[in-house]
Every structure is written in structure tokens, then in C-alpha cells.
Amino acid sequence: MILTVTLNTALDITYRVPSLRAGASHRVSEVLERPGGKGVNVARVLAALGHEVTVTGFSGGPTGRVLRDRLTEVPCVTDALVPVSGATRRTVTLVDDRTGATTHLNEPGPHIAHAEWSAFQEVYEDLLPSASAVALCGSLPPGVPVGAYANLVRTARAARVPVLLDTSGAALRRGVAGRPDLLKPNTEELAELTGSHEPLRATQDARRRGAGTVVASLGADGLLAVTPEGRWRATPPAQLTGNPTGAGDAAVAGLLSALVEHRPWPERLIRATALSAATVLSPTAGDFDHAAYDRFLTTVTVTGVATAA
């Protein structure tokens, strides 16, 4: 079982409009509603790849009930969310069909009381012995300590469970000090963490700050991995147009699935890049175009070198 942690779960709502104009009224051509938050998106991709996944984090209020109902519809996913008194947030994505541009509106999430945070930590510790890997994903809801991820990383490592961290801002700065096995930032998050806008230099700096391995999302340019075993760059076959929401989450799912299958690093990066690209061609986060994924597996290129033994 792979465990994904989403402390700030969400009900993702996607509106498609023919052309988005500020200050104007719009007719929505399509509405899509899915359980979301980064770790939930990761779980849905992992499940589509055939892995058993357990989802934990927080859920509350009417929105939380809808989210949990929708999770029951996803095969291979087990709900271990912790109930809270506040309401789960909604995230709204506006997709402009004319340009392909996406606009995001993200609510902050419910305030988590001290007792609710303690209850989650107990659930997390109980789940770890059954986990082959754990992903800690997304923002921290109000009330959760800024150092929460560092503590959760240390708990996973103490249980000898490989742990991936995918977050941003202060949660990333504090979390990397917990020494996660794998850190998966994008270029903006890397620059904020290290002060460097040069991806290779920033990735190497992030490793020095505590991460065992860093895999940086370079957007349309693919992935850059700096690991104890070597350094590699994976590049998709072509520039793609579509909805990039969730592409980074799909990359996390690819990395985790290949990790638990004990694949070598070049294969991990091919899978992660192919999934990320196939997600861009899907209308909603947490889904991917399966035919495109199969095609990209044979067309993603990887360059790099392994560290000499």
C-alpha cells in the first residue's frame, strides 16, 4: 500500500468557458467535479496504475462529505481521512477553451484544532507500518504547525518508510530539514527555497539542505533529477497544450509507483514525465490520457550519468 497525505484536501471544480474575460459574464460549457488536493490527485493516478493507495488528511463539513462520497467511486483507494469540525475547501479552475489558459481560485481550508491535529498524527503513525512509501503533499491548512511536514518526514523515516515531500513556501523550507528521501519541487519553489534560478544549482543546493534526492519539475521542459546514484534529465517529446493542473501530481505518482517497483532512475523519470505530459491532455487533475501515456513512454528521452561506484 502507498500512503498519500493531503492535509488540505479540496473538492476540485473545473469550469470550461469559450473565452475568459475579466469583468464579464460567461456561459459555462462544461462543469467537472472531483475529490482533490495534491495527495488525492496523486492517489487517483496511482490507483489508475494499479496500486493500492490509502488517502489520509482532513475532511469536514458538507464539502468534505461530497469529497468522501466521490472517493468511494475510485477503485483501489481507501479513505482514512480524519474528520474535523471545519469545512473542507473548494478549489475552482477556470479553463479558457480559446487559449488553453487556466485560472485558479483556491480557498484556504478549515482551521485545524490542536486535538484534530493530534488525532491525525495517531492515524498517520498507525498507517505507516503497512505502507511501502508515503507522499506528503500540498499546503498546510490554518492551525497546523509550520513544521508539521518535518515531523511527519521524521516519523516516516523512523518507521523505515521512504517519504516524498511535495509542498512550497515555509512548509517546504521547514520540511526539507526533516531529510525526506525525495523532494519534488517545481522551479519557482526551488528558487524560493535556495535563492537560485538555475535549476541544476538549485537542485544540488536543495540536496545539501537535507533532501536525499531532488526531482525538479521544469514545466514543459520535463524533469531534472539529482540523486545519490547519479544525475538525469527527462524531456517530453513535444510541447503540449492543455490543462497543466495536476501534471506535477502525476509526476509524483510516477516516481512513487516506480520506486515501490524498484525501477532504476531513468525508468522512474520516463514514467513520471510520460504521466505528467498525459495529464496535460486530460481536462481534470488526477486523470490522464491513457493512450497518450502509453505513447509517451516510448518517446520521452533521458540523458545523464550514473555516479561511479
**Catalytic-residue membership of 126:** no
CA torsion through residues 56, 166, 280, 291, sign: negative
Q: For residue 227, which phi and psi values (nearest 5 degrees)?
A: -130, 165
Widest Cα–Cα separation across the chain: 62
Closest among 129, 215, 123 to 164, alpha carbons compared:
215
For residue 169, CA distances in Å to 107, 138, 189, 284, 288 come to: 17, 10, 7, 25, 27
Contact assessment for residue 219 and residue 228, using Cβ atoms and an 8 Å cutoff:
no
Instruction: Compute the C-alpha angle 148/153/159, nearest 5°.
Output: 130
Catalytic residue of the set 12, 181, 249, 287:
249
Closest among 272, 289, 263, 253 to 39, alpha carbons compared:
253
For residue 100, CA distances in Å to 32, 152, 167, 206 come to: 16, 37, 25, 33
Helix, strand, coil percent values for the chain (each to nearest 5): 40, 25, 35
User: Which sequence positions are flagged as catalytic?
Assistant: 249
